[in-house]
Amino acid sequence: MRPVERGPWPVDSKGKRRTFSEYTRARGALIACLGEYCSFCESRINANLAVEHMLPKKHHPRLIRDWHNFLLACVNCNSTKGDKKIRLANYYWPDRDNTARAFVHTANGIVTPAPRLGVKERQRAMRTLRLTGLDKIPPNNPKASDRRWLHRREAWARAQEAKADLAACDTPHMRRQVIRQATALGYWSIWMRVFTSDKALRKEFIAAFTGTATACFDANTRPLPRPGGAL
């Protein structure tokens, strides 16, 4: 899960905090800050990207138009999370924690807690996966509407193909092609994982995906503890 920076509350031309008459009107500002990516599954969504309320509207009506309660989510992540009662401290959040330290993507489309996590950290990571449905793996049901696991697997294959192409012809042009392909597809974490040994390209991924929290990484692109975060 990509760690992101939502940025400060947007202001108008007079420098005053913008008031969103409806929370959906924050979508454009959120996309400008975070890119057109689901904040949880990391897929690139060019339409119907929802304004997600970290603390659900149903239980926190005062936060319905609160910028600091917003993320972006695809239909599957948004509907799976739904209006469950949430205590923020029970989960990892891409705008608060360095979620790049919490989860690991694998070639078969599975997302798991990072192996270096302690017992309590692992439990928190598992709760986060269950909350968003990122733990779902329906390989025996090809008609399942939730196909996020399959899309992750396909993204992994695309990244591996790009890696092979780059190995065969490592030029600045080819590297730009890889970046364009990655940002068009989404799944930042998968590209970072597949290109683990290519520090230069990992730096490009961190810079090219709008809204990535750059302070969550050292000069060698290794994830760092996030100041103020739980991880």
Give me the DSSP letters along 40-80. TT-BB-SS--EEEESS-TTT-GGGTT-GGGEEEE-HHHHHH
> If you average pLDDT over residues 4-11, what whole number do you get?
96
Judged by average pLDDT, the poorest of 15-24, 110-119, 196-205 is 15-24
Give residue 142's pLDDT: 62
Give me the DSSP letters along 168-194. HS--HHHHHHHHHHHHHHB-HHHHHHH
Residues 6+ apart with CB under 8 A from 173: none
Residues 6+ apart with CB under 8 A from 211: 4, 5, 6, 7, 33, 34, 35, 37
Res. 105: pLDDT tops 80: yes
Give residue 141's pLDDT: 65
Give me the DSSP letters along 84-152. ----GGGS--TTTS-GGGTEEE-TTS-EEE-TT--HHHHHHHHHHHHHHTTT---TT-TT-S--HHHHH
Average pLDDT over the chain, rounded to an integer: 95
> If you average pLDDT over residues 112-131, what whole number do you get?
97
pTM: 0.95
pLDDT digits (tens, 9 = 90+) for 66-100: 999 999 999 999 999 999 999 999 999 999 999 99
Q: How many CA atoms lie within 13 A of 15 on its CB side?
A: 0
pLDDT digits (tens, 9 = 90+) for 124-146: 999 999 999 999 887 666 667 78
Give residue 127's pLDDT: 98
pLDDT digits (tens, 9 = 90+) for 168-217: 999 999 999 999 999 999 999 999 999 999 999 999 999 999 999 999 99
pLDDT digits (tens, 9 = 90+) for 22-59: 999 999 999 999 999 999 999 999 888 999 999 999 99
Cβ atoms of residues 51 and 72 within 8 Å: yes
